[in-house]
Copies of this chain bind each other. A is one copy, B any other.
Amino acid sequence: MTEAPAPREGLLHETRAGYGDTDQSGIVHHAVYLRWLEDARATWLREHGIDFRAMERDERAGFAVWKAEVRYHLPAFFDDRLHVELWVGELGRAKIRFDYRVWREETLLLEASVHLACIDLDRLRARGLPQSVRDALS
């Protein structure tokens, strides 16, 4: 979980809250954000030249979420235009942690950390990060 305020330097993935993302309390449902963080991760991979579909298909390497921490500061509403800020918080041999902030204009709505482990998709077992990911990160 990020503690210190930081300038927006990472990737900014744009999304918009749909009607079906809300629940009857009138705000975006808390589970929806995990999907948005994931979409931001896909954008990050794409923009770093990593072909995740090929990685899964050819190398049989995927990512499994093994830990997620989310701090909900303020609600998002239907039709809000939002930005997901994303950066690599920690990088190991087989693990990677992405840190996130979700913004509506200048308002911070949410902070999160999602811890991923690289897995062999056929055996659902841990393995090292593919070289293509390492290259993109250095």
Contacts and interface: CB of A to CB of B under 8 A. Distances in A.
A67 B112 CA distance: 10
Nearest to A28: B24
A34 B34 contact: yes
Interface of A: 16, 18-20, 22-27, 29-32, 34-35, 38-39, 42, 46, 52-53, 56, 62, 64-73, 75, 77-79, 121, 124
Given A20-B31, A22-B24, 16 more contacts: A19-B24, A19-B38, A19-B39, A20-B35, A20-B38, A23-B24, A24-B27, A24-B56, A26-B121, A30-B68, A42-B79, A52-B79, A66-B73, A68-B70, A68-B72, A69-B70
